[in-house]
Structure 1
Amino acid sequence: MSAATAEELEAVTAILSAGRTAAVTTRTVEGALHSRPLALLDDEFDGVLRFFTQDPSAKTAQIAAHPEVNVSVGDGKGWLSLAGIATVTHDPQLLDRYWNPWADSYFDGGREDPTAALLEVEVGSFEYWDLRKPAIAQLFEVVKGIVTKSEPDLGETRAADV
């Protein structure tokens, strides 16, 4: 795969911003896949995705055993799959930077809760399907595909390394 272009990174940011919630897939200690929804914390994509998590937890034990994860996001106008390496940090400066009222409700001790941590995913590659065409244009493409027995052009699919 080639390195991501500025246009591709803009598309990734647009889908992440619109989606706001991601399905983060880890492998259990035994190797089975496990997905769970987590709220995205960053507004801009800089190659790292961040989520609040409790540590210790089953999720952080899974990441310690198998740090390779997948993060998927969809917003109705696009779909995004990102593969990367996950780590867990208790960095107080990062926790302060991202802390918000929503996080406060998930940690009994608030910002001072010793289990408060960030799950960071350093993205190595991504693939997206950008459907930002107007609905009428998408409908036209589907009808055209049925009539011509060809694949409809509903959007752009790209893959790249970060």
Structure 2
Amino acid sequence: MTTSTDRDQQLKKLCELIADIDCGMLTTTEEDGSLHSCPMSKNGEINSDGTLWFFIYRSSHKAAEIEHNQHVNVSFSSPDQQRYISLSGTAQLVQDRNKMQEKWQPKLQTWFPQGLDEPDIALLKVNINQADYWDSRSSFKPQVINL
């Protein structure tokens, strides 16, 4: 059984692993069962409840895939540091205006030219269930964190 302290330490470790990596590959499942990945810029660190946030267009194909199957994977890598992280969990679209304002970063203007006034903007909330990581500093044996 994972205690609150253990969970906090595991989340802290995950935050350290992805702190200097901005872009992850979000993998979703198509209706036919095939996998589809695309790069996503993360918005901040992993929250204390084990969630990661991304901005997305509500009408995008990626959003439709998530509505069909909420199971996702987000992978991060830092090859120069021989660090690789794979997060699995569930995703949901969130249209909370206050949360969007909290998570907004000016660099997102590149993908959302109208900023938070973009009519089709939404947040993608990823609830992390498990993390696998490989970090050459400790070992190249995969390490597993269950949240």
Whether the TM-score (by the shorter chain) exceeds 0.5 is: yes
Check whether the contact 1:15–1:74 (CA below 8 A) recurs between aligned residues: no
Does residue 80 of the first structure (1) align with residue 80 of the second (2)? no
User: Could you say what the CA RMSD is over the residues aligned between the two structures, in angstroms?
Assistant: 1.9
Maintained 8 Å contact 2:90/2:127 = yes
Question: Is contact 1:12-1:45 (8 Å) kept?
Answer: no
* Moved beyond 4 Å, runs of 4+: 4-7
Cα deviation for residue 45 of structure 1 reads: 4.5
- Count of aligned pairs: 141
Equivalent residue in structure 1 for 2:64, among 61, 73, 77: 61
Which residue of 119, 123, 147 corresponds with 2:128?
123
8 Å contact from structure 1 (residues 48, 120) kept in 2: yes
Deviations 1:22-73 (A, max 9, x none): 1110011222100111011123453001111111110000000010000111
Can you list the C-alpha shifts for 1:100-159, whole angstroms capped at 9, x where unaligned?
A: 2222222243211121111110011111112236xxxxxxxxxxxxxxxxxxxx445321
Match of 1:93 in 2: 98
Task: Name the amino acid aligned to 2:93.
Answer: V
Larger radius of gyration: 1
Q: Which residue does 2:74 correspond to in 1? A: 71
Distance of 2:45 and 2:145 partners within structure 1: 20
- Distance in 2, matches of 1:44 and 1:56, equals 25
**Structure 1 range deviating more: 84-93 or 105-114:** 105-114
CA separation in 2, counterparts of 1:156 and 1:14? 18
Q: Which has the higher helix share?
A: 1
Q: Point out where structure 1 has 5 or more consecutive residues left out of the alignment.
A: 134-153
**TM norm structure 2:** 0.85
Q: Secondary structure at the match of 2:20?
A: helix
More strand, by proportion: 2
Runs of 5+ consecutive residues of structure 2 not aligned to the other structure = none
Label 1:23 to 1:98 Cα distance change in 2 as closer, same or farther (>3 A): same
In structure 2, the partner of 1:17 is: 19
